[in-house]
Structure 1
Amino acid sequence: MFKNTAKELQSWSQRNVGQIKLQLLVAKTVVHWLDKAQEERQLTMEEHQLRKELKLKSLGLSSLERTMIRLRSRISYLRDGDANTHLFHMQAGHRAKKKFITRLQHGEHTAVTHEDKETMLFQHFNSILSTASDRTELIDLAALNIQPVDLHQLDCPFSEAEVWGTLRSLPNDKAPGPDGFTVEFYRVAWPVIKEAIMAAFNAFYRNSCAHLRRLNGNGIQYKVA
């Protein structure tokens, strides 16, 4: 059904719109000829009107061409953006470079290395978040008819069933991380990699995050018997 619709739309576009690039090239070429002729002689009224109409047509065709290119790029990104392709890795690398902080300035001190930036950020937020202030007013949730919610499960360790359920709820062709491994890979290889995955979750739960950045540079080694 969708293939037939796409074919009909393409046929309609050829009949009513035609080839955008060819029309734009012809319009710009004729305008260029008229501009060169205007340098040597006075254009007639018909030539002035034709030049004006072609310039307006060129603007409309250029706008239409940009719209078509933008729509095609969106379709390409929807098709290849989350797949394990060169485009995906270029996007991931671009985001990492864009979000990278080269230096931090606090007063007269400048942090350049990763350790110095980590120390400066920790000291800054620790001075803000670790300072308890006395509350002058309290909110009575019972008076607002708001029932308390039991949130003790948020402090529980990650379970294998919870992680596996999350994997099953994700689309197969999506890559949950910048390493490019899709959800389908995690599902198929789950019996082999589940112990390592759960060890990583448990380490994260115990706040053992010293080497967390290595998750962006992991790899798989294949052993051929």
Structure 2
Amino acid sequence: MNYFKDQSNLAGLYDLGFSGPKFTWRRGQLWERLDRIFVNSMWLNEFIHNSVQHLSMTGSDHRPLLMKISASNVKHKTSFRYLNMWSSHKDFFNQVSLVWRDCHTSNPLIKLWKLQKKLGRHLSNWNWKIVGDINLNVVEAEKSVANLEAELEINPDVEKDLLIANKNLMNAICMQEDFFAQKAAKTRFCEGDRNSKYFHAWIKFRRKWNTIHKIKETDGKWLHSKDLIATNAVKYYQILFKQPSALRPSIQQELFCRDENFMWGLDLTSVPGEEEIWSALASIYSPKVAGPDGFSADFYKKSWKIIKDDIIKVVQGFFRGLDVPNYFKCCNITLIPKSSSAIPWDLFKPINLTNVISKMISKVISNRLQPLLPKLICENQSAFIKGRSIVENFYLPKNWCWIWTSNAEGGT
């Protein structure tokens, strides 16, 4: 099966998934999913919103597949999103320095809020007016190189111009690939994947995969309208998130008496310095999807020399007890399907996309706490502790069983 999937990927074919029963073929008690619908990138370019439904096995041992194709006229309100390719532009840091100036606000959190809003608007306008269409930029750069190469045969003096044109072409191609890689949201690429067609296919397939065509309510009713699906999703997760958490048994404080002096000596809430804050930021993976503010970790890293004073004051302000505005505390909730046939809402896993500032503060705390966990957590608790593995819980009883069996066979 893995070989089949690998060959499908090499051929540029994508399984559209399905809804309904899992298997499409039966012989006696043997059930398999033999029937599938594959499409290529050209199909996904033309028909993004399509779905496959497994029908009943009436008069055959194979299940018919019904494919529905629908056009989408839904227009979403666009919000600011920082593009990682911008940092490759020669004028990017000048634009950031031009906007990132004092807002005459004493509160560092409010100041950063205003600076990000102002910079977001400025970069959006700059992208439209200066950066322009990245695909068109590549085409024009290729034409410029081709013309200079042809002229070089007649006039050797244009060789310097040709070197500059080649440099501009490589920069345009890198910006194009960075754009498609970020849009495809694929965080790991192997050698040979730097191909815009590959990114295009991933973008189309991801958009199709993330589209919910229909949903099954808890009472068994099917919803097909996009407005009804959206309303039902909000209602379902509002009820889910408002449910009271399960009662947990109270912690027995006497279990920590032995390490009471050690815990009182911990320094987890002290104000961090620049080196510690930068270490927390550097540990965040740059291509990760941005939060509600639209700025990814790549922006903070590439513009650190310009913005670091304000970022450091914000993180330090949190540890000094400043009230954090909702702008930094809010997050985007994204639904991830648990299976290829996710139909009811309970088969979707909600995850939060938070701002980088929240991630940096969490990283500072976790980096301080991580080396202390082996002291606070018993040795037989092996999960989620650096240097320990949950597999140890399996190997230990396995070794004991092996020793016990060996002793029994030996007659001792």
Structure with the bigger percentage of strand: 2
In our comparison, the structure showing a higher alpha carbon Rg is 1
If the TM-score is normalised by the length of the shorter chain, which range does it land in?
0.3 to 0.5
Structure with higher helix content: 1
TM-score (norm 1): 0.38
TM-score, length-scaled by structure 2: 0.23
